Amino acid sequence: MRRIVILGGGTGGTLGANRLRKALDPDDYEIVVVDRDDRHVYQPGLLFVPFGLTTIDDIVRPRSEQLHRGIAFRSSGIDHVDLETETVHLGDGTTLGYDVLVVATGAALVPEETEGLTGPGWMERVFTFYTPEGAAALRTALDHFDGGRLVVNIVDLPIKCPVAPLEFTFLADWFFRERGRRDQVELTYVTPLDGAFTTPVAARTLAGLLGEKDVELVTEFNTGAVDGEGGRLHSYDGRDLPFDLAVVIPLHGGQPWVGRSLGLGDDLNFVPTDLHTLQSKARPNVFALGDATDVPASKAGSVAHFEGEVLAGNVQRYLAGQELDGSFDGHANCFIETGFGKALLCDFNYDTEPLPGHYPDRVGLPLLKESRLNHLGKLLFPFVYWHGLLPGRDLPGVHAPMPTRGKVVEETV
């Protein structure tokens, strides 16, 4: 009997475990998933909580129930992994040996790395919607916010779902307009990037939308400190930005246990991973997927989903002593909620930035363009997530390699 240990029971770990369970004979392979708790959060739902469009209860389900029969679930923290002895040292003091290890413990928020962020005013005047507690607290704060300047600030990249802060801003515009208070609220989007987004075509579209919605865009702002009491963001280059309410996306890193595991992680505790095979650079029998890796793809559920297909195949190839498949292309796609029942859709990979056109083919959902259809897609997605994506089913028309047929490549000007 050989054992595959999957650390993390989130999007990547769950769908990876389910795909492997289907592919591998239970008489020969044991699969164990480890997570510190049994609460699987549908993370895209966190965006909607502050606006009262969903609740935490609606977006959390037991992790163990998302795993197929024949997968063992261990609820425990992780102290560290010893790569030499191929052993996971769990938080409860027990150990777990492995033949193959899959790291899927995602990214961790490190708000304490930014001076003042978790000091006075944290969760009173300074919030984040990236945690269930933060999103719930922000709901109350938005309900009571009757005027002043609301800033949405990304401290630095990488962050999970890089479009979520923009979506939050669009929804805040909608929320205050619906309540007749928009003229008392000044919305400001503050980013360390030199535009609204990392890639030029999408940045142009999204900056246009911010403008239409009367949102001020502040770029190249590297937040050095947050003064919750005085209501000010300070940048490293000496700029000061006053606020009445701040929604801050804190710095992200890999999980602390990665840092405690000699030779596994990089300076930020992400796991250096081959871009195309998802094998870790630390050891051939260690693989990684999702937000835990250092691959230059978005930290997003869709990426973990597309990676899952390649990862499950490569773990099998590794076990069979075959050459790995290097086909993962960095594919990501995401609905960008823009408020008023509309959304945009983005589809891209390592080499191709988000472009206009249609997905998945010449006929399909419009790309980089506001539409009601995309909003409906976003609303239906939780169902697809729990019933299609996590169980490791292949979704019709949605495949790991990025499609190019429906995309319109602009002439360079």
Partner 1 sequence: MPTATYAGRDVVVTEDGFFADPEQWTEEMAPELARAEGIDALTEDHWRVVKFMRREYEEKGAGPTVRVLGKTSGVPIKQLYLLFPKGPAKVAAKIAGIPKPHGCI
Contact residues toward partner 1 (CB under 8 A) are 156-158, 162, 193, 198-199, 220, 222, 224, 236-237, 251, 267-268, 296-298, 332, 348
Cβ-based nearer residue to partner 1, 9 or 290: 290
By beta-carbon proximity to partner 1, the closer residue of 114 and 279 is: 114
Pick 236 or 383: Cβ nearer partner 1: 236
CB of 88 to partner 1, least distance (A): 26
Nearer to partner 1, 158 or 382 (CB): 158
Nearer to partner 1, 100 or 303 (CB): 303
CB of residue 242 to partner 1, shortest distance in Å: 21
Least Å from the CB of residue 196 to partner 1: 13
The pair of structure tokens assigned to 207 is 């900056």
CB of 297 to partner 1, least distance (A): 7
Closer to partner 1 by Cβ: residue 142 or 251: 251
Minimum distance, C-beta of residue 266 to partner 1, in the bound complex (Å): 8
Q: Quote the least distance from Cβ 344 to partner 1, whole Å.
A: 16
Q: Which is nearer to partner 1, 50 or 162 (CB)?
A: 162
| Distance of closest approach, residue 97 Cβ to partner 1, in angstroms | 31
Question: Residue 69 corresponds to which tokens in the numbers above?
Answer: 């029969």
Strands 240-242 and 232-235 turn out to be: antiparallel
Nearest distance in Å: CB 231, partner 1: 22
CB 384 within 8 A of CB 364: no
Minimum distance from CB of 113 to partner 1 (Å)?
8
State which residue, 59 or 207, has the beta carbon closest to partner 1: 207
| Closest by Cα among 135, 134, 110, 112 to 225 | 112
Reduce the secondary structure of the chain to three states and give it as a string. CEEEEEECCCHHHHHHHHHHHHHCCCCCEEEEEEECCCEEECHHHHHHHHHCCCCHHHHEEECHHHCCCCEEEEECCEEEEECCCCEEEECCCCEEECCEEEECCCCEECHHHCECCCCCCECCCEECCCCHHHHHHHHHHHHHCCCEEEEEEECCCCCECCCHHHHHHHHHHHHHHHCCCHHHEEEEEECCCCCCCCCHHHHHHHHHHHHHCCEEEECCCCEEEEECCCCEEEECCCCEEECCEEEEECCEECCHHHHCCCCCCCCCCCECECCCCCEECCCCCEEECHHHECCCCCECHHHHHHHHHHHHHHHHHHHCCCCCCCCCCCCEEEEEEEECCEEEEEEECCCCCCCCEEEECCCEEEECCCEHHHHHHHHHHHHHHHHHHCCCCCCCCCCCCCCCCCECCCCCC
Q: 166 or 315, CB closer to partner 1?
A: 166
Comparing CB distances to partner 1, the nearer of 41 and 297 is 297
Preceding peptide of 111 cis, ω within 30°: no
Residue 9 CB, shortest distance to partner 1, in Å, is: 25
